[in-house]
Amino acid sequence: MITLDLVLPDTQYPIHIGTDLLERADLILPHLAQKKVAIVTNEVVAPLYLARLQSSLEQAGVQVLTVVLPDGEANKTWDSLNLIFDMLLEHGAERKTTLIALGGGVVGDMTGFAAACWQRGAPFIQIPTTVLAQVDSSVGGKTAINHPKGKNMIGAFHQPRLVLADMTLLDTLPQREVAAGIAEIIKYGLLGDATFFSWLETNMPALLRRDRDALAYAVKRSCEMKAEIVAADEKELGVRALLNLGHTFGHAIETGVGYGSWLHGEAVAVGMLLAAETSYLLGELAAEEVTRIAALLEAAQLPTHAPDLGFTQWMSLMSHDKKVENGVPRFVLLPKLGQAEIRSNVPVAVLQQVLSGRWILAAKDAN
């Protein structure tokens, strides 16, 4: 087991990465405010892992409440959030009752938001069951639900007490979910570690076949990078916005085509390529680097073509992005591979070219 510590001005917590951690009640008990927890999961994960986690905690003397939510991004709503509150109220949960998120990014985001709201702040723990959640959404304390007009627009910053990233929980993931999670891993190579990007080019086959050593290293490196950025900017007032590489375009895709049609990682993959092509058209990112990015996304079995939303809808959807400042969309772009920066002065003409579809795999077009 590898343990990373995320240290913030007001709190710190461990991120345990390893195998067979789900039933390690000894890792969870030190982080409980009382011996009563509420496990939040969904209808896909519950049959696989809920009983094992619940039994482990109950054997350790912990009272366990449970709630099973409907699965999918389309259910990341007030209605699903209220199912959590209904359960907490019906069973007399207190402010010290720890909420445990057992699931992917949707479950983690909703559990964290529920914990932030429950009696104005209850503790919670993340046990992510997808690659995407292990490398990204479970770490850093961003919680939210969706609105029909914008993804993750209603939420709170609320840090977990503990993150347990168990590689064995990835064995039951559909291959499409594995690939979607790898998109967020690729993001870390693009925005801050070109050496890691090169490692991904070499080790993508191992990641796709779920080699545990390769996955553990990728999760560790991604969490290290995220922890460093979050520690420097917990509330996303500056550098943390770089973690949204690909997300301005990606969130527009998710909202525009309907939540759940594209997986988050799939939308982010295309978003990262659009960001790379934008940087290329601005005369910054080299053509061969765009080619490498596209090739790695394709090797990861991720999409590289954006849906045709129409330029007006693209701009409207991106105007609801959380990075909008004074009504102007801001983008995370790539001056070079392994380096990212936030830009707000992207010419409309460049965005029109990128979003027209003609510039997908721009580097190939340039040769």
Secondary element (H or E) of residue 152: strand 150-157
Give Cα 361 to chain centroid, integer Å: 25
Q: What is the pLDDT of residues 68-119, one digit of tens each?
A: 999 999 999 999 999 999 999 999 999 999 999 999 999 999 999 999 999 9
Residue 262 pLDDT > 60: yes
CATH of domain 2-172: 3.40.50.1970
Secondary element (H or E) of residue 126: strand 124-128
What confidence score (pLDDT) does residue 1 get?
Answer: 93
Of the candidates 140, 135, 249, 128, the residue with the CA atom closest to the CA atom of residue 183: 135
Q: Which two tokens stand for residue 130?
A: 């997808």
The whole-angstrom separation of Cα 299 and Cα 296 is 5
What average pLDDT does this structure show over 176-188?
97
Q: Which CATH superfamily is domain 175-366 in?
A: Dehydroquinate synthase-like - alpha domain (1.20.1090.10)
Would you say 190 and 279 are in contact if contact means Cβ atoms under 8 Å apart? no
Let me know if the fold of 2-172 is the same as that of 175-366.
Answer: no
Q: Which two tokens stand for residue 26?
A: 């000894």
What confidence score (pLDDT) does residue 321 get?
Answer: 75
What is the rounded end-to-end Cα distance, in angstroms, of the chain? 47
Per-domain residue ranges for the chain? 2-172, 175-366
Secondary element (H or E) of residue 270: helix 264-281
Question: Rounded to 5 degrees, what are φ and ψ at 175?
Answer: -60, -35
What confidence score (pLDDT) does residue 358 get?
Answer: 59
What average pLDDT does this structure show over 219-245?
92
Q: Name the residues annotated as catalytic.
A: 120, 142, 184, 226, 236, 240, 244, 247, 251, 264
Would you say 142 and 12 are in contact if contact means Cβ atoms under 8 Å apart? no
Helix axis angle, 311-318 to 247-257, nearest 10°: 110
Would you say 306 and 355 are in contact if contact means Cβ atoms under 8 Å apart? yes
Q: Which residues of 257-275 are buried (b: 16+ CB within 10 A; e: fewer)?
A: eebeebbbbbbbbbbbbbb
Tell me if residue 359 falls in helix, strand or coil.
coil
What confidence score (pLDDT) does residue 275 get?
Answer: 96
Q: What is the pLDDT of residues 143-179, one digit of tens each?
A: 999 999 888 999 999 999 999 999 999 999 999 999 9
Q: What is the pLDDT of residues 192-217, one digit of tens each?
A: 899 999 999 999 999 999 999 999 99
Predicted model pTM = 0.90
* Rg, Å, the chain Cα set: 20
Q: Provide DSSP, 277-321.
A: HHHHHTT-S-HHHHHHHHHHHHHTT---S-----HHHHHHHHTTS
Would you say 256 and 318 are in contact if contact means Cβ atoms under 8 Å apart? no
Average pLDDT of the residues of the chain = 93
Q: What is the pLDDT of residues 283-326, one digit of tens each?
A: 999 999 999 999 999 999 999 999 999 999 999 999 887 777 77
Tell me if residue 335 falls in helix, strand or coil.
strand
* Type of residue found at 261: S
Would you say 81 and 74 are in contact if contact means Cβ atoms under 8 Å apart? no
